[in-house]
């Protein structure tokens, strides 16, 4: 399942492009996507959706809500869902310390180094601030270029099944005319 987290998606201010990339990427490695949800930046809703999905599916991928602003609540929500504390991760702090010039690693940016206790980090070759994995949940950035790089790091680690191959055939027919025969074939 994919959880797209953010009020900016629900308000229409930001158009989600991550779902398409995730769906294609998972299909290419043989992981079938079964559900996608868009969830507001509301703690109870994020925790509920995450718990429902992580119990129902082998993998859950989240996008959004791990940046430096006040509305980036995904990390504490994931910690709450798993019943573990949110901790300042020394590995993440070291990455951010190397990335930012002295004096630029402020309190807001340090928010990006907080992860649920026991989580492993997902590398971020684009802007350094890592995502993380805990249990069957991979938590990734909402910024498309960063999310794509993170998914590319995670995908090779997944247990995969049969890869989905598809091809588009242009038939110059109307759906209503071929729906019955295609249903018989399926």
pLDDT digits (tens, 9 = 90+) for 28-74: 899 999 999 999 999 999 999 999 999 999 999 999 999 999 999 99
> What is the model's pLDDT at position 163?
73
Percent above pLDDT 90 for the chain: 84
Is residue 164's pLDDT more than 70?
Answer: no
Is residue 162's pLDDT more than 80?
Answer: no
| Cross-strand partners of 86 | 116
pLDDT digits (tens, 9 = 90+) for 87-101: 999 999 999 999 999
Buried b (16+ CB within 10 A) or exposed e, 84-119: bebeebeebeebbeeeeeeeebeeebebbbbbbeeb
pLDDT digits (tens, 9 = 90+) for 144-156: 999 999 999 999 9
- Average pLDDT of the segment spanning 120-144: 97
């Amino acid at each position: 399942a994919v959880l797209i987290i953010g009020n900016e998606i629900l308000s229409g201010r930001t158009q989600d492009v991550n779902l398409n990339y995730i769906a294609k990427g998972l299909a290419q490695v043989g992981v079938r996507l079964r559900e996608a949800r868009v969830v507001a930046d509301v703690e109870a809703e994020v925790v509920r959706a995450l718990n429902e999905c992580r119990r129902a599916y082998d993998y859950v991928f989240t996008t959004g809500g791990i940046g430096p602003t006040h509305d980036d609540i995904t990390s504490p929500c994931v910690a709450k869902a798993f019943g573990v504390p949110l901790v300042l991760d020394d590995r993440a702090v070291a990455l951010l310390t190397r990335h930012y010039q002295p004096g630029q690693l402020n309190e807001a940016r340090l928010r990006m180094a907080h992860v649920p206790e026991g989580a492993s980090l997902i590398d971020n070759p684009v802007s350094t601030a890592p995502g993380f994995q805990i249990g069957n949940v991979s938590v990734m950035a909402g910024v498309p270029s960063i999310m794509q790089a993170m998914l590319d790091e995670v995908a090779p680690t997944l247990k995969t099944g049969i890869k989905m191959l598809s091809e588009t055939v242009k038939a110059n027919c109307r759906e209503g005319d071929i729906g019955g025969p295609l249903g018989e074939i399926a």
